[in-house]
Amino acid sequence: MSTEYRSAPESITTAPRGIPYIVTNEAAERFSFYGMKGILVVFMTQYLLSSDGSADFLDQETAMVWYHNFTSAVYFFPLIGALIADWFFGKYRTILWLSIIYCLGHLSLAFMDMHMPFLEPRNYLMIGLMLIAVGSGGIKPCVSAHVGDQFGKTNAHLMERIFGWFYLSINLGAFVSTLLTPWLLSNPNFGPAWAFGIPGVLMAAATVFFWMGRKVFIHIPAGGSEFIKETFSAKGLGSMGKLFGIYLFVAMFWALFDQTGSAWVLQAEKMNRNFMGFEWLSSQIQAINPIMIILLVPLFNSFVYPAINKVFPLTPLRKIGIGFFLTVPAFLLPAWIESQIAAGEAVNIGWQLFAYALITAAEIFVSITCLEFSYTQSPKRMKSFIMAIYLFSVSLGNQFVSFFNLFIQNPKPEIELMVPGEYVFSLSATDGSENVVKEMRVNVMETKPKTERLTEKIEKDDEIEPPSVSFTETLLVVVPNEPLNIFASTDFGTGEGDAAYTWTVEGSSPANIKDSNKRFSTFTSTEQGEYTVSLELGVGALSGQESLTVLVTNENVAPVVNLPENKDFVLYVRCQGIGGIFDSECTEKQSLSLNASGTYDPNGDELTYEWNLLSQPEQSVLSNDNIQGRQFAFPTSKVTGSNYYMFFAGCMFLTALGFIPYATRYKEETYIQDESDTE
């Protein structure tokens, strides 16, 4: 370690001089991370395109697997970063170098919407997420431990307060970015390039802020061989073993908490998001968590903790246990919301905010406590490594969610195609009494040259796009006098200005429409008959309109099979230069997904489905047996709706109960850096 840097804490009673640089760095870095992560699920399910501009969306289950695998990787790489920092290079240089890799990851994500050659947008997404996982994950344990390194015994009493400010900086950055990046993504004047690019700029700024504090930081040197000796000593192994037991319980908390960025966002898509006079984007709701942290941390430190201390001593492990139990009702509330949605209710997003309040309180009890506890309970040369083991609990929790979502998925119908030409498939859907069959022709062709596809996409991007309206279902059924909630998905296109919603209804008898100035409405009619409900969306001088049919009847209605009559499918058969290393176009066959998600029963009855191959090109030798998942029943997942949330609430409750005996037997041992510690 160069002598120009301090290697031991100063003997002072005030806050360390390097703290402002660390806090500023953390606010900017957290803006970049949460800004990107907050829009990831919505981007993958609604915005991801191929290089020719066609939709390349992921289904919700697959998007959740990608999201939680990425989050798991982010919290796995702290183990690698901590080893590099504690064994070889020290925390400062490790943070600085990995931050550069982090910036390159953001740059790769921005490339997805910038017509970059060589790779498909999905490839840039994969590379970007990998680099961000390495960079963000690698610096995580080092940054938290670097905060603790700034303190000696004379100012250690300030550590709890500074860790609270450190956590506030995390949430300030997260709050601003979670409001901003969803708006950038949905605004046609900006889009994915800006939504992912601005977080990249903030990450670059975070790196500069950190570098500026280099001469006032306390640079605890890497332990080298001493780190290995201490890690595998009786003291080191004992500390790791005791703490890892706690972290296994904490992993379940993170399994639930991190679904606020996946399952809760997807739930918000189905809710009435008009709150406090604004129509919120589904991925913006997450912003309530960091703003609650900012408001509640001082409240907890000044009132809640002292009040509990008057009843019983509030040790760190008791804080964690309280947080576990608070997490249970935080997931029971979304379970209730799902049951109301299934019953046809238009649930206001305000109900989800109550769940955020509970899980945010749980986060304060668990997460902030674990940061400080992990530092004080780890031997001096193992600070980063112990912090990495704690962060690994987040990885374990997200892997649990990912594996669970993979396990509950039913096989998706698909067939591998190798021969160009025309294929004809049929889909039959039955509710037990009515059976409906519809055919779909698939034109399988070889790929266009990439230059041609890129030109088409650029030309398409230059077009004026009017606002658009879409409905998930084209036919809805309701009995007389029963209210029917109708939701619409909207896209403002390239229009500028305030949005104006106009609902109309036409039919043989009078009918009522409520809330006709929003993207949802409530339909009621006293008379049986067929009605056409339309929504016109106006944005500035542009407008778009869509309609659906509402059938008011007491009779059973046949299933609705929604399939395109004709579909083009490009069979990629040749590699394209450098991109061939990663590009899916290098395969000689591809799987055609036989998607029946638009098929439903208007009465809500359970349907069974069957795909059949009716005709194919002469050179093709496929049969119905080649259709994987040919016969199936919806839903696509074995566990859906409120049952999904009840499962995780039950897991958390059992975890909280199991934590009690472990915590009562844990013996604390505190390690703080000495002012006399030198290189």
Residue 307 is predicted with a pLDDT of 95
Tell me what the mean pLDDT of segment 84-102 comes to.
87
What is the distance between the alpha carbons of residues 441 and 616, in angstroms, rounded to a whole number?
A: 10
User: Contact 294/171 with Cβ under 8 angstroms?
Assistant: yes
CA triple 613-618-623, angle to 5 deg: 30
Of 260, 40, 62, nearest to 128 by C-alpha is 40
Q: Looking at residue 300, what DSSP letter applies? A: I
Confidence of residue 365 (pLDDT cuts 50, 70, 90): very high
Give the number of other CB atoms < 10 A from CB of residue 60.
Answer: 19
User: Contact 418/70 with Cβ under 8 angstroms?
Assistant: no
User: Contact 112/125 with Cβ under 8 angstroms?
Assistant: yes
Helix (H, G, I), strand (E, B) or coil at 550: strand
6: β partners? 218
Ordered DSSP codes for 419-488: S-EEEEEEEEEE-SS-EEEEEEEEEEEEPPPHHHHHHHHHHHHTS----EEE-S-SEEEE-TT--EEEE-
Asked whether residue 130 carries a pLDDT value surpassing 90, the answer given is yes
Q: What phi, psi does 463 have (nearest 5°)?
A: -75, 155
* Integer CA distances (angstroms), 573 to 420, 516, 580, in order: 10, 50, 11
User: Contact 282/273 with Cβ under 8 angstroms?
Assistant: yes
Give the number of other CB atoms < 10 A from CB of residue 46.
Answer: 18
Residue 186 is predicted with a pLDDT of 83
Q: What phi, psi does 381 have (nearest 5°)?
A: -90, 5
Q: What residues have CB less than 8 Å from 82, skipping those under 6 apart?
A: 141, 142, 145, 384, 385, 387, 388
Tell me what the mean pLDDT of segment 297-307 comes to.
91
Average pLDDT over all residues of the chain:
83
Residue reference for tokens 């604390």: 668
Please compute, for residue 523, the number of CA atoms within 13 A of its CA located in the half-sphere on the CB side: 31
Per-residue pLDDT tens for 49-67?
877 666 778 878 788 889 9
Residue 423 is predicted with a pLDDT of 96
Asked whether residue 585 carries a pLDDT value surpassing 80, the answer given is no
What is the distance between the alpha carbons of residues 324 and 649, in angstroms, rounded to a whole number?
A: 10
CA trace torsion 28, 32, 33, 34 (10° rounding): 90
233: its two tokens: 């000593």
User: Contact 476/551 with Cβ under 8 angstroms?
Assistant: yes
Residue 587 is predicted with a pLDDT of 44
Residue 231 is predicted with a pLDDT of 81
Overall pTM surpassing 0.85 (yes/no):
no
Residue 580 is predicted with a pLDDT of 39
* Integer CA distances (angstroms), 227 to 89, 91, 153, 378, 392, in order: 12, 13, 22, 12, 20
What is the distance between the alpha carbons of residues 657 and 635, in angstroms, rounded to a whole number?
A: 33
Helix (H, G, I), strand (E, B) or coil at 501: strand
Q: What percent of the residues of the chain are helix, what percent strand, and what percent coil, each to the nearest 5?
A: 55, 15, 30
Residue 165 carries which side chain, given as an amino acid letter? W
Helical H segments across 221-277, by residue range: 225-231, 234-257, 263-268
Asked whether residue 492 carries a pLDDT value surpassing 60, the answer given is yes
Residue 661 is predicted with a pLDDT of 96
535: β partners? 503, 546
What is the distance between the alpha carbons of residues 285 and 264, in angstroms, rounded to a whole number?
A: 9
Confidence of residue 117 (pLDDT cuts 50, 70, 90): low
Domain architecture of the chain: domains with CATH? 19-410+641-665 (1.20.1250.20), 414-633 (2.60.40.10)
- Which one of 191-200, 371-380, 631-640 scores highest in mean pLDDT? 191-200
Per-residue pLDDT tens for 509-519?
888 888 656 77
Per-residue pLDDT tens for 231-263?
888 888 888 888 999 999 999 999 999 999 999
Residue 23 is predicted with a pLDDT of 80
Residue 69 is predicted with a pLDDT of 93
Asked whether residue 338 carries a pLDDT value surpassing 90, the answer given is yes
Per-residue pLDDT tens for 35-52?
999 899 989 988 888 776
Of 87, 220, 96, 82, nearest to 147 by C-alpha is 220
- The CA radius of gyration of the chain, in Å to the nearest whole number, is 28
Confidence of residue 440 (pLDDT cuts 50, 70, 90): very high
Of 250, 232, 193, nearest to 393 by C-alpha is 250
* Integer CA distances (angstroms), 635 to 400, 413, 485, 641, in order: 22, 13, 21, 10
Asked whether residue 2 carries a pLDDT value surpassing 50, the answer given is no
Ordered DSSP codes for 89-119: IHHHHHHHHHHHHHHHHHHHHHGGGTT-SSS
Q: What residues have CB less than 8 Å from 260, skipping those under 6 apart?
A: 286, 289, 356, 359
Q: What residues have CB less than 8 Å from 17, skipping those under 6 apart?
A: 10, 216
